[in-house]
Amino acid sequence: MARIKGVDIPNDKRLEISLTYIFGIGKSLAGQICADAKIDKNRRVKDLSEEELNVIRDQVSNYIIEGDLRREVSTNIKTKMEINSYEGSRHKKGLPVRGQRTSRNCRNCKAHKGPKKVIANKKK
């Protein structure tokens, strides 16, 4: 298995699809990386030489991915929660952040955040 930025990418898949196993790289960015590296995106990872893998590693290092991206996203969410913005308050309550309805749907958001949180001295 080839290893890029600490992630093992599958050998038997196409290069474009294998790159999407890295957090922060989607299909369009994977295609752009392949184009910048001048490597056919339809080739299998096991068919690539070590030099071609090094070129791909250099191209991938130009983007914020994996741990750095996860850290940046989490700090952005924490900042919104600290400044009490609307999105931050939705994050705190465990509700959908981007304007979705809650009366008829929103099962995932409520389930992942756990049971209802008790708010002290709240009258019904």
Answer whether residue 118 is part of any domain: yes
What is the residue type of 34? C
Q: Can you give the CATH number for the domain in which 56 is found?
A: 1.10.8.50
pTM above 0.85, yes or no: no
Which tens digits make up the pLDDT trace of 50-98? Answer: 999 999 999 999 999 999 999 999 999 999 999 999 999 999 888 888 8
Contact 40, 100 (CB under 8 A): no
Are residue 6 and residue 56 in the same domain, yes or no?
yes
Model confidence band, residue 122 (pLDDT cutoffs 50, 70, 90): low
Whether residue 28 is predicted with pLDDT greater than 70 in this model: the reply is yes
112 is in which domain, residue-wise?
85-124
**Predicted local confidence at residue 89, as pLDDT:** 92
Answer whether residue 26 is part of any domain: yes
Alpha-carbon span 43 to 9, nearest angstrom:
14
